[in-house]
Amino acid sequence: MAIINLPGIKPSVDDLLASIPIGISPIGTPVYDDLTFDAHGWINKDETAIFKWDQLKLQSVAISVAQSSNSVKKATAGRDGTIKTHIAKGDYIISVNAVLSELVKVYPADQLAILKKITEAKVSVPITCKFLNTFFDIKNVVIDNITTAQKQGSIETVNVSMSLSSDNDFNPNDFEIVLK
């Protein structure tokens, strides 16, 4: 993130700190934020199996976020278009492009094994990411699609593309019941 100097405006300490990388990724790129799938687990509904995984930190990551609205659309005779009644905001759809990589020239098998466990989860996955947590209040996600690809000529990196949906904790006390 570049700091733009405007006449008469001085950047804040937060602006200056945001322009400093928090580290260097295994592939040598500066890291300003990362996406961490937190260690978690779940028990199946008949309590016969326990599934758990370790933390997976993606440091070489690019994230984009989109959101739609859930609305009812009604066509009316003699009117172009539809009448829309807004009901609620839809889930955030998060696109993630990342690189799994080790510091030494070995295949990132441990990271892939953890990622496989996470993708098999039948529950939402808790995440830590300053961008998603702070700006969009996204703390849990569901993995909708995932693609992994080996990088030609490289044993130590695997490209990963994911489509995630936000999943907020459900608390029935957050809703107001309206009786008519």
Query: What is the average per-residue pLDDT within 136-159?
Result: 91
Alpha-carbon distance values, 166 to 24, 106, 126 (Å): 28, 33, 10
Residue 138 included in any domain: yes
pLDDT for the residue 3: 46
Rounded CA-CA distance 170/155 in Å is: 42
Residue 160 included in any domain: yes
Residue 161 included in any domain: yes
Residue 79 included in any domain: no
Query: What is the average per-residue pLDDT within 13-32?
Result: 71
Residue 6 included in any domain: no
- How many domains does the structure of the chain reveal? 1
* Average pLDDT taken over every residue of the chain: 82
State the burial class of residue 38 (Cβ atoms within 10 Å of its Cβ: 0-12, 13-18, 19+).
middle
Higher per-residue pLDDT: 101 or 144:
144
**pLDDT tens digits, one per residue of 51-81:** 889 999 998 889 999 998 888 888 888 888 8
Which pair of structure tokens corresponds to residue 163?
Answer: 């489509």
Residue 176 included in any domain: no
Residue 7 included in any domain: no
Query: Torsion over CA of 128, 129, 132 and 134, rounded to 10 degrees?
Result: 90
Full residue range of the structural domain in which residue 28 is found: 16-66+89-168
Residue 55 included in any domain: yes
Output the pTM of the full model.
0.73
β strands within the chain, DSSP E: 23-24, 30-31, 35-37, 40-43, 50-53, 56-58, 60-75, 82-101, 125-128, 140-150, 157-166
